[in-house]
Copies of this chain bind each other. A is one copy, B any other.
């Protein structure tokens, strides 16, 4: 949903994010790309939350439309497609880390390691730089 679309509800920055990520699945794909080194359709399908194939295809298409991910053919196999985050997608990292910090604090059964909070609070910038370098 771009700002030029007839479906855009307002020009509020919170709403802008909701138009793109305001559903139960899109952000999980970003998470898999950003933190779990997943790159292909079947890898996304295998995540714990069990996204269905039609929803996955739809969300990947929308993420491409929004220029948050790009799709390329794998070097070693022409029938395999590799999804990657664009710069715009990688810019979501601070949001993802703040979300992780909030859930780590407020979800008593989170799987976030205790060490995350300490490292994040004391060296946020270094953590961001390190993760971005690992994304190439």
Residues of A within 8 A of B (CB): 3-4, 9-19, 22-24, 27-28, 31, 47-50, 88, 91-92, 94-96, 98-112
- For this chain, the copies found in one complex come to 2
Residues on B with beta carbons closer than 8 Å to the beta carbon of A28? 12, 14-15, 18
Q: Is the CB of B16 within 8 A of A107?
A: yes
The minimal Cβ–Cβ distance linking A126 to chain B, given in whole angstroms, is: 16
| 17 more CB-based (< 8 A) A-B contacts, given A9-B48, A15-B48 | A3-B109, A10-B49, A10-B111, A12-B28, A12-B111, A13-B102, A13-B110, A15-B28, A16-B110, A17-B99, A17-B103, A18-B24, A18-B27, A18-B28, A22-B23, A91-B102, A92-B102
List 5 A–B pairs whose Cβ atoms lie within 8 Å, in order of A's numbering. Answer: A14-B27, A14-B96, A17-B102, A92-B102, A98-B98
Which of B12, B49, B98 lies in contact with A15, CB distance below 8 A? B49
Residues on B with beta carbons closer than 8 Å to the beta carbon of A23? 22-24
Complexed CA–CA distance, A106 and B19 (Å): 13
Complexed CA–CA distance, A16 and B105 (Å): 11
Complexed CA–CA distance, A92 and B95 (Å): 11
Q: Is the CB of A100 within 8 A of B22?
A: no
Which of B11, B102, B107 lies in contact with A109, CB distance below 8 A? B11
Residues on B with beta carbons closer than 8 Å to the beta carbon of A10? 47-49, 111
